[in-house]
Amino acid sequence: MSAAPAMAERALPAATQTERAILGAVLLDNQALIAAAQILSPDDFFNDANRLTFEAMTGLTERSEAIDTVTLREELTRRDALERVGGAAYISGLIDGIPVAANVEQYARTIKDKAILRDAIAEAETIRNMAMDPGADPEVVLVGAQQAIAAIANGAGRAAERVRVYELAEYLELRLPPRQPLLSPWFNEKDLAMLYANRGDGKTWVALSIALGVATGTSALGWEAPARAPVLFVDGEMPVETLQSRTSSLLAGLDPDLDTSEIPFRILAADAQEVPVPALDSPEGKRLLDAILGDAKLVVFDNISTLFGAGPENEAEAWGPAQDLLLGLRRRGVAVLLVHHAGKSGAQRGTSRREDVLDTVIKLQRPGEYRAENGARFEVRFEKARGLIGADVAPFEAQLATDENGCATWIVEGRTRHRVVDLLEAGMPPDAVASELGIHRSTVYRHRNAAIAEGSFDEE
C-alpha cells in the first residue's frame, strides 16, 4: 500500500514562530536584517504575512530608512499589504517575547533549513508525477531527478528565481545614478582600491590621509574630496598610541579648528581591543563588520595580512572569501581601500588574483635619491586605474612634512605648490588660498617660502 496519502496529510516543514522571531529581532536592531539577508530570501518564509513583512523591511533598508513599527506599517500600507499581514496588531505582536537580535543567524538557518526541506518535497512530488506517467522514460526521469536534487543542494533553484536578466534594449534604458566622487579624480562610491608599498614607506600615513580627507570633505595628497562622507577605518597591527598620534597630526594639518565631534570618522583598532579581532572574511568577522559598518561610504582595511584569513597568500583560492566580502560591500554602495605590503620583487605580495576586481591599484615607491631623514617620502604610481588616463594618473612625488606644532601636511611635487603659487600670484590672500584648496594656512606659507627660495614666486 502506498504511503503517499499519509504523507499528504502531514504538514510541510516550517518554523513560523522562528520567522516571527527574526522579524521582531530586526525591529529591535535594524542591523539584524543584514545578517538575516545573507542567509535568507523572502521566498524562504513559509508564512505569507512573515514573507511580506520581510520584503517590506528589505525595501526600507534599500532606501536607507529606519525600520520601526511606524515605518514598517507605512511601508506595508504603501505595498497594499497591511491588511494581508494582519494589520497593526500583527506588527506590534512581533516583539512579544522580546526576540534576541544576537540569535538572528541561528533563526535564519532554521528557517533556511525548513525551506530546503520544502523544496525537496516539491521536487520529489514533481519526480513522482514524472515517474507515474505511463509513457515515462526512466533515463529522462533519473536525469531530471539528479538535476533537481543538485539544484537544491547548490541553492540554484532559488537563486535563479531572484537573479534578474535584462534584454539588451531594457538594460540600455536603465536610469543608473552616477557614482559620486569620494576623492577626485580617482576614488568614487563603490570603488575597490588597493594601496601597497614596502614596510615603513608610509602606507598608513597615506591611508589615514585619504580616510580623513574623505571624512572632512577636504583633500589628501592633492586629491580633492567634494563633500564629507562617513568613513570606517579598521587597523590590524599598529600600536593604538601611534595611530592616535598620526591621526591628530594629520587633522591639525588639515585644520586645527575642526570640530572632531562632527567628523563622520570611526576607527576600529585591533590593538585597543581586549579580545582578538576575527579575520574579517570569516563568518564571525563578517558579522562583526555588519554590526559596525553603520552608514560608512568608505572602509579602509589596514592591512590585508592582519585583517583577512590566514590562508597561504600565494594561493588564489585563499583570497575567495575576502573577494566575496569586497564585492558584497560594493553591492551595498560602500567603497573599500585595502592596504597591503610589497613583496621582495617589489610587486604586491601574494596572489595577483587580489587585483582582479579592483578599480585602482596604487604603489608607493621610494625615489632613487631617498635618504632616511626624508621620512615618509615616495613616488605615487597608479598601476591600475579604470576609466582614468593622462594627468589624472601621472606619477608624482609626495613627502610628509611636520612643523614645530605637530601639524602634518603633504608636500606634493607639481600639484599643491603650483596651485598655491598660482592663486597667490592672482592676488588671493594666504588665508583665502588655504580655504580654496582645503589645506591649513601654514601649508600655504610653506609652499610660498619654498617657491620664493627656488625663484618661482616673487612676493612683490
User: How far apart are alpha carbons 183 and 211 in whole angstroms?
Assistant: 10
Band (pLDDT 50/70/90 cuts) for residue 46 is very high
Of 407, 223, 233, 234, the closest CA to residue 307 belongs to 234
- Three-state DSSP at 116 gives helix
Cis bond leading into 47, ω under 30°? Answer: no
The pTM of this model reads: 0.63
**End-to-end CA gap in the chain:** 108
Of 218, 245, 260, 219, the closest CA to residue 402 belongs to 245
Burial class (CB in 10 A: 0-12, 13-18, 19+), 88: middle
User: How far apart are alpha carbons 268 and 236 in whole angstroms?
Assistant: 8
Count of CB atoms situated within 10 Å of the CB of 413? 15
Which pLDDT score, from 0 to 100, does residue 433 have? 84
Which residues in 180-251 belong to E strands, given as ranges?
Answer: 181-183, 187-188, 192-197, 219-220, 223-224, 231-235
Band (pLDDT 50/70/90 cuts) for residue 301 is very high
Q: How many residues does the chain have?
A: 460
pLDDT surpasses 70 at 438: no
Which pLDDT score, from 0 to 100, does residue 2 have? 38
Band (pLDDT 50/70/90 cuts) for residue 87 is very high
Count of CB atoms situated within 10 Å of the CB of 113? 13
Please compute the mean of the pLDDT values over residues 176-182 and round it to a whole number: 86
Please compute the mean of the pLDDT values over residues 42-59 and round it to a whole number: 92
Which pLDDT score, from 0 to 100, does residue 7 have? 45
Mean pLDDT of the chain: 85
Triad 103, 34, 270: Cα angle to 5°? 80
Q: Which tops the pLDDT comparison, 437 or 203? A: 203
Which pLDDT score, from 0 to 100, does residue 450 have? 67
Q: Which tops the pLDDT comparison, 162 or 249? A: 249
Band (pLDDT 50/70/90 cuts) for residue 313 is low
- Three-state DSSP at 458 gives coil
Band (pLDDT 50/70/90 cuts) for residue 6 is very low
Q: Which residues pair with 135 in a beta bridge?
A: none
